[in-house]
Amino acid sequence: MLLLVVVVGLIGYHVYKSIKPPPPIPLPENVSEICPRIKLNDGRYLAYRELGFPKDKAKNKIIILHGYGSSKLVDLKITQEMIDEFEIYFLLFDRAGYGESDPHPSRTLKTDTYDIEELADKLQIGPKFHVLGMSLGAYPVYGCLKYIPHRLSGATLVVPLLNFWWSRMPKRLLSSALKKLPIQNQWTFRVAHYFPWLFYWWMTQKWFSPFSQNPRETMTERDIELADKHTKHSYIKESALRQGEYVSMQRDIIAGFENWEFDPTELLNPFSGDNKGSVHIWCALEDKQISREVLLYICDKLPWIKLHEVPEAGHLIIHEKQHFEDIIKAACS
């Protein structure tokens, strides 16, 4: 009996160790010398980067939300001439757990949204700003439209995340969008949604890969070319994940695919009457990750959102100079 108790205890300890996420990798003591950071009311710090026109003179103030596995160091494909023409101030920051930004102990869509608002207030960029999110990093834009619409001068979602468990959208439509993904990806998103407490184990177990290893299942040939160019700047990813993959990328997936308090089709138009502004969704017609049909459904239910369909473009549309400039022009118009 004693031996059985010891064996069961050892097995239980091993299981506990395998599913319990590790603590964040500590940032260096001189982190504030590496990049500017601002302290939030809860004691956490967010690292940020400012570009473009001076914020006190800028006509357009755009907060950029980086994508999955990226950071504030993402390269914006825009010329100085265009920045000057539209008088654009860009604010980029590491979302919680990425780069030099402290993790949030219970990160959600709502906490990410209020991080944006508080960062804008701490940096005094003004009462209104435009939010632009890309891919998985676009889900806080939905949060801004829901929780802080009064702070927005506009919003842009570029090939935005689809939560396959949105409550008000047709189940068949979302299920069809999920089944277009590789089977490994499908199960990873299901685990993140249904069993977030098991997600660290799922992402670190050695039996099978949590994501497809064939890039052609999720990317176009042009996407692969752009991804290869991006990997040459490996310092961006190294910086993004310096505190560990759990508090950055894995918590990103959990927040994106958790049960939301709202469905995108329930959003109200923040720019009615005298309140001027616009909301844009950019859909790449060759995107293998984001279903065009779901985005069409959202924009059909919310006709105040302007849908831009880009032919011969894939998921990494944001890294194409011409397309990125078109996205910014629309945001500034």
pLDDT tens for residues 179-232? 999 999 999 999 999 999 999 999 999 998 999 999 999 999 999 988 887 655
Percent of the chain with pLDDT over 70: 92
Res 97: pLDDT? 96
CB 313 within 8 A of CB 262: no
Give me the residue spans of the domains in the chain.
30-263+275-332
Res 276: pLDDT? 86
- H or E element in which residue 305 lies: strand 305-310
Kindly report the length of the chain: 333
Higher pLDDT, 1 or 75: 75
Higher pLDDT, 288 or 4: 288
Coil, helix or strand for 6? helix
Put simply, whether the predicted model's pTM sits higher than 0.75 gets the answer yes
| Alpha-carbon gap, residue 270 to 139, rounded angstroms | 17
Res 98: pLDDT? 96
At 239, the pLDDT band (50, 70, 90 cuts) reads confident
CATH number of 30-263+275-332: 3.40.50.1820
- Is 6's pLDDT higher than 60? no
pLDDT tens for residues 260-296? 999 999 999 999 877 789 999 999 999 999 999 999 9
Strands 152-158, 305-310: pairing kind: unpaired
Residue 153 has φ and ψ, to the nearest 5°, of -100, -10
Tokens standing for 158?
A: 């570029």
pLDDT tens for residues 144-159? 999 999 999 999 999 9
At 302, the pLDDT band (50, 70, 90 cuts) reads very high
Res 8: pLDDT? 45
**What one-character-per-residue DSSP string does 251-297 give?**
HHHHHHHS--SS-GGG---SS-TT---EEEEEEETT-SSS-HHHHHH
| Alpha-carbon gap, residue 52 to 42, rounded angstroms | 29
* Average pLDDT along the chain: 91
Q: Tell me, what DSSP letter sits at residue 204? A: H
Residue type at position 60: N
Residue (of 27, 23, 4, 17) closest to 240 by Cα position: 27
| Alpha-carbon gap, residue 224 to 216, rounded angstroms | 8
Coil, helix or strand for 213? coil
Res 217: pLDDT? 93
Measured CA to CA in angstroms, residue 167 lies from 16, 97, 161, 260, 264 at distances of 33, 28, 15, 8, 9
| Alpha-carbon gap, residue 128 to 137, rounded angstroms | 20
Residue type at position 91: L
pLDDT tens for residues 65-99? 999 999 999 889 999 999 999 999 999 999 999 99
